[in-house]
Structure 1
Amino acid sequence: MYELSLVIVLTIALTPFQWSWGGRRIDGVHAQLSPRWNVPAIYIFGDSSADSGNNNELSTIARANFPPYGRDFDSHHATGRFSDGKTTADWIRKLFRYNFLGLPLAPAYLSREARMFPFQGANFASAGSGILNHTGNVLGQQLSGWQQVELFLERWNDLAARMGESAASRHLRDSVLYIASGANDFVHNCITNDTDSAMLPNNEFNQLLLTTFTQQLQVLYNAGARKVALLGVGPVGCAPLFLWLLNTTTGECMETVNEYVSEFNDGLREMLVSFNRRNRGAHFVYRDTRDAVYLMAKYPILYGFVNGNTACCGSGNYGGGDRCSSPMSVCGYPPYHVWWDEYHTSNRANNIIARQAWSGFDRSSTTRNSTSTTIYSFLTIQQLAALQLTED
């Protein structure tokens, strides 16, 4: 599947109003690259792969505000991030700061900092959450996908009151939204069978997710969001938790689980093609994480890792049998591991994922619409940020 012969290299040339490839139009881009990049803020949505501390303020067992989490973070303290250091969203934000001077941080929305600095963007992500409202309820409180959208609208109303609606609209139009959600829907609703949705056939469950996700994205668009990066669901079948749950003896990824996730990602790409065509000025782009994590897990040595299937912090087979709860359970050198705990990739792996999403080519970001022969190419986050948009 991942042999070099299957990799398609695209040469994409930018014209003032569209991208072209081989003389044929590539739909979806109707803007210019700006020589003076202006991104006033980044707004982050999603689950534990992006949560920067919102769950610290909630009654839930889905928390990471204790050691050894955060041991390799800038402050060397646990902040609520499910990582030994930075999350993928943190690394994306850092790449923004490298490229867009002055871009402020995106504090956890439920934190005091977010209330003190309302113009700095915000992080609405919540560990355990998913696209569906009931996902993660077994863990306690969490901000569901819909609740995160509602909090975003709350922030928009606050900005409009402070800046005026016209200035707030420009702020939101030029800002970038980052969304990483869906993985927990598969974990809690399909694989561990702890919600009613587990009774749905695979295709019906995927359609439920996509329909709900589309509705949430439409609300964001209607509020004024125009530049949105959506990360596909990663290969959850490679996580140590599932290697332990399924009692595998080979350490190989659970491909049936990964194939199920891939079907959702395929549907997400197709949905975004239609969404962008239907909504004037929308640049909602798909960025792959599945291939990047899958290759690191399967061929760790190629990426400078030593172990691709065992958590650095955990217990039981592959470190997937229990949560990372004690500094005593940490491996000797976390950067050698693709996985930090039973479910989350390590700080170093997150850096690689972020760089791929930021500027790397991945063949899954280019899709041929099922109803036509038109090639549709999604932008990288770097290109998305550089778009100079005008009024709709």
Structure 2
Amino acid sequence: MGLAPIGCAPNYLGLYSSKNGECVVTINGMILEFSFAGRDMDSELNEELVDANIIFSDAFEDSMDIIQNHDRYALRLGSPFVPSYLGQAGSIEEMILGVNYSSAGAGIIFSSGSELGQHISLAQQIGDDATSNLISSSVFYISIGSNVYIQYYLLNVSNDQSVYLPWSFNQFLAQTIKQEIKNLYNAKVRKVVVMGLAPIGWAPDYLGIYSSKNGECLVTINDMILEFNFAVRYMVSELNEVLVDASIIFCDAFEGSMDIIQNHDRYGFNVTDEACCGLGEYKGWIMCVSPEMACNNASSHIWWDQFHPTSAVNRILADNVWSSLHTPSGTQ
């Protein structure tokens, strides 16, 4: 895994007196350089190590969406919440449906995070045995991409907008995801769900930054997301034709989100543009940093904070995804 954009962490926003909750670009620039080096290292190792399949995943991604949704999908499959490795008793029965090795404070070197108490280092998190049968019968859920726009392309961190027009950038992203899915396939993965991106042009952060009138969305941003989803949907169709025994499904999160926004009364949402937790115009200028900032009834809001929907919205999206309501024909 690459590193997350810690330049957006509340600690640094405070230390560097961030204006309007803007990320600390210098720190994120370091993280991006680390990620580029990690990607290059991954490519070199795959060329040198015979029969190795090393996958690099860029953590400038929509981590919050994964956090808010992955357990809900586990429940739909009849599985309990995925237990933490340190919290389970060690029986096969407890571990067979999944184990979460994520460990707060752990880093690449063994001593990273040691001052925070017990943790699982990178070396301890990596296992030796491959369970091909279990992998091939599991469903892999991929929800990734929003932060590539939010924290990278739209901020023009590395001047990418002068190198890639939106369409070219989306094609680059789709091809990158395509290669990662092929890597999963080579690792015996056969069932994959790929989520498209939601209409972040409606996000409170952008409504405030671009001084939206009456909560109208940023069409230019939403158009980029639509192009990305189109490219990924087409890519999924291609993979289903060439990867034998693979079942790759594309779910249109844009369509699902727009259905909720446009029919908010039917779904029980009274506030469509203002975040439940935040400060500033549309409560999207300053991120949610404490529970005291939150509204009294989050379930009446579509947006929880600057960019993330509320649990009520995620619950509806999860139900709709499970029922294939927003799964285009030809991608399932």
Q: Do these two structures clear the TM 0.5 threshold for a shared fold by scoring above it?
A: yes
Q: Which runs of 5+ in 1 are unaligned?
A: 1-44, 48-53, 65-80, 98-102, 127-150, 161-167, 367-375, 380-392
Structure 1 counterpart of 2:98: 121
Paired position in structure 1 for 2:111: none
Aligned residue in 1 for 2:128: 158
Shift of 1:252: 1.3
- Of 187, 199, 203, the match for 2:150: 187
Q: Given the superposition, is the C-alpha separation of residues 63 and 217 from structure 1 closer, same or farther in structure 2, using an over 3 Å criterion?
A: farther
- TM-score by length of structure 1 reads 0.59
Paired residue for 2:15? Answer: none
The counterpart of 1:96, out of the listed 77, 85, 91, is: 77
Q: Is contact 2:71-2:82 (8 Å) kept?
A: no
Give the aligned partner of residue 230 of structure 1.
194
Percentage of matched positions with identical amino acids: 29
**Mapped partners of 1:125, 1:335: distance in 2:** 29
- Aligned-pair CA distance for 1:89: 2.1
2:221 matched to which residue of 1?
257
**CA distances 1:304-360 after superposition (whole Å, capped 9, x unpaired):** 111111110001111101110122211121110011111111011110010111114
> In structure 2, do the counterparts of structure 1 residues 125 and 189 end up closer, same or farther at CA, with 3 Å as the change threshold?
farther
Aligned CA distance change for structure 1 residues 220 and 295 (closer, same or farther; 3 Å): same
Which AA in structure 2 matches 1:183? S
2:246 matched to which residue of 1? 282
Q: Distance in 2 between matches of 1:275 and 1:174?
A: 18
Question: Hey, what's the Cα distance between the residues in 2 that align with 1:197 and 1:123?
Answer: 35
Corresponding residue of 2:81: 105
On the 8 A contact 1:296/1:308 being kept in 2, the answer is: no
AA aligned opposite 1:105:
F
Aligned mate of 1:245, from 196, 209, 213: 209
Counterpart residue number, 1:365? 328
Letter of the structure 2 residue corresponding to residue 169 of structure 1: S
Question: Which is richer in helix?
Answer: 2
122 and 305 in structure 1: CA distance in 2 versus 1, 3 angstrom threshold: same
2:290 match: 326
C-alpha change, 1:255 and 1:189, in structure 2 (3 Å) is same
Matched, 1:87 2:87: no
Q: Please give the residue correspondences for 1:269-348 in structure 2 after superposition, counting only pairs within 5 Å.
A: 269-348=233-312
Cα deviation 1:88-147 (Å, max 9, x = unaligned) = 2222122112xxxxx353357xx6458967544256899xxxxxxxxxxxxxxxxxxxxx
What's the counterpart of residue 206 of structure 1?
A: 170
Count of equivalent residues = 256
Describe how 1:5-44 pairs up with structure 2 within 5 A: none
Q: CA deviation at 1:212?
A: 1.0
Alpha carbons of structure 1 residues 249 and 123: separation in structure 2 relative to 1, 3 Å: farther
Whole-Å Cα distance in 1 between the matches of residues 88 and 190 of structure 2? 22
Q: Within the alignment, does 1:175 sit opposite 2:145 as a pair?
A: no
Q: 1:121 to 1:63 in 2, by over 3 A?
A: farther
Counterpart amino acid of residue 318 in structure 1? Y
Does the 8 Å contact 1:241/1:342 carry over to 2? yes
C-alpha change, 1:347 and 1:254, in structure 2 (3 Å) is: same
- Give the Cα–Cα distance (whole angstroms) in 1 for the partners of residues 197 and 243 of structure 2: 24
Equivalent residues of 2:10, 2:289 under 8 A apart: no
Which structure 2 residue ranges, 5 or more long, are not aligned? 12-62, 104-121
SS in 1 for 2:128: helix
* Equivalent residues of 1:88, 1:353 under 8 A apart: no
**Alpha-carbon distance change, 59 to 249 in structure 1, aligned in 2, over 3 angstroms:** closer
Q: How does 1:371-390 map to 2 (within 5 A)?
A: 376=330, 378-379=331-332
CA contact (8 A) 1:87 1:347 kept: yes
- For 1:231 and 1:63, the matched residues in 2 are separated by 28
From 231, 235, 239, the equivalent of 1:267 is 231
TM-score (norm 2): 0.69
Residues 239 and 107 of structure 1: is their aligned pair in 2 closer, same or farther, counting only changes over 3 Å?
farther
* Aligned-residue CA RMSD (Å): 3.1
**Cα distance in 1 for residues equivalent to 2:147 and 2:260:** 21
SS of 2:72 mapped into structure 1: helix
User: Cα deviations across residues 359-391 of structure 1 (Å, max 9, x unaligned)?
Assistant: 1423x612xxxxxxxxx2x33xxxxxxxxxxxx
Q: Which has the higher contact order (CA 8 A, sep 6+)?
A: 1
